Amino acid sequence: MDDEFDYEIDPEDLPQGTPTRGELGAPSVMVNDLHVTYKVVGARKRGATPVKDNMLRKFLRRGKNLTGGYTEIKAVQGVSFTARHGESIGVIGTNGSGKSTLLKAIAGLLQPSQGEIYVSGIPSLLGVSAVLMRDLTGERNIMIGGLALGLTRQEVEDRFDEIVEFSGLGDAIYLPMKTYSAGMGARLRFAISTAATPDVLMVDEALATGDAAFRERSRERIDEIRQHAGTVFIVAHSLASIKAMCTRVIWMDKGVIKMDGDPQKVTAAYRKYTKDSATK
Ligand SMILES: Nc1ncnc2c1ncn2[C@@H]1O[C@H](COP(=O)(O)OP(=O)(O)OP(=O)(O)O)[C@@H](O)[C@H]1O
Ligand SMILES: [Mg+2]
């Protein structure tokens, strides 16, 4: 502790580069040759005449797969990467390229069919959405979502005002969630999800509906989480949001990583790719 008050620092000893983008910590998420396959049961054999399902048939078929047929959808097919504390990683790619599946697997909501995922800390996939109830007020949902994230009742109460302020909902917080517009709902989910400063935060599409002011607040909040050594994954179709918020971008295509690296470079290549395929 002797050198605690030693303020003599050589400029050369300071970390190089911008602090917000430069200093990365230890690995927080390691994904190794991940495969996720959805099995859609009930697909019929080729050539079989489709029969209309009625309740009785469904009942007789329950738990069994009489046709013996199912379709496999290989949503993620061999993805490997390492994320570090302090990174915010944008995940881009066309519809159905496997972005949401990848995040759900990291969050532990889907079982890999092959490969491994290691996560240090508790991942939170803007996961409160699953527990929020449309018939209840925003106020009640803040408590439910907060508890689901592992906060205590007291902690949720302490952060209540901050969450409401962040969401920008004002008095609408006392109305049932089903009366909210898509954007209002997304803001509340984001505000609740980030209230706990999670180790690994994953945001899937939630920012798309926010207005400019909300996006700015979200960016600040994501920076804060990163500075507390968290890792943030953001899925978004808006390349501008991705560039504004991310220190790294992973481009998913048909279940594999097509490119991984600098946001400017990856988004430029993606834009070119989508333009090219649009003109074909
Ligand atoms: N619950 C499911 N059951 C069966 N197939 C699924 C399921 N969820 C996704 N898929 C399939 O997995 C593939 C990847 O889907 P995913 O939702 O991960 O894509 P995405 O990149 O998030 O797309 P988007 O940009 O539209 O959100 C798609 O072919 C999709 O049809
Ligand atoms: Mg998706």
> Tokens 């409401």, residue?
164
3-state secondary structure of 246: coil
Does a structural domain hold residue 49?
Answer: no
**Do residues 76 and 34 touch, judged by C-beta distance below 8 A?**
yes
Task: Please state the domain count of the chain.
Answer: 1
**Do residues 198 and 225 touch, judged by C-beta distance below 8 A?**
yes
Does a structural domain hold residue 266?
Answer: yes
Band (pLDDT 50/70/90 cuts) for residue 130 is low
224-268 per-position pLDDT tens digit: 877 877 888 988 888 988 898 899 999 999 999 999 999 999 999
Range 195-215 average pLDDT: 74
Band (pLDDT 50/70/90 cuts) for residue 183 is confident
Does a structural domain hold residue 66?
Answer: no
What letter would DSSP give residue 238? -
Does a structural domain hold residue 68?
Answer: no
Distance 258 CA to ligand 2 centre (A): 17
Distance CA 190, CA 14 (A): 35
What letter would DSSP give residue 176? B
Using only C-alpha atoms, the chain has a radius of gyration, in whole angstroms, of: 22
Ligand at shortest distance from the CA of 255: 1
Residue 231 is part of a domain; what is its CATH number? 3.40.50.300
Measured by CA distance, the residue closest to atom 26 of ligand 1 is: 95
Residue 136 belongs to what domain range?
Answer: 22-33+83-279
Does a structural domain hold residue 77?
Answer: no
For the whole model, what pTM was predicted? 0.73
In ligand 1, which atom is closest to the CA atom of 104? 18
Does a structural domain hold residue 61?
Answer: no
Query: Does residue 101 line the site of ligand 1, with CB under 6 A?
Result: yes
Evaluate the CA torsion angle 104, 110, 111, 113 in order and state its sign: negative
* Nearest alpha carbon to residue 31 among 93, 96, 95, 123: 123
63-112 per-position pLDDT tens digit: 555 555 778 999 999 999 999 988 999 999 999 999 989 988 988 878 99
Question: What is residue 9's predicted lDDT score, i.e. its pLDDT?
Answer: 37
Query: Does residue 104 line the site of ligand 1, with CB under 6 A?
Result: no
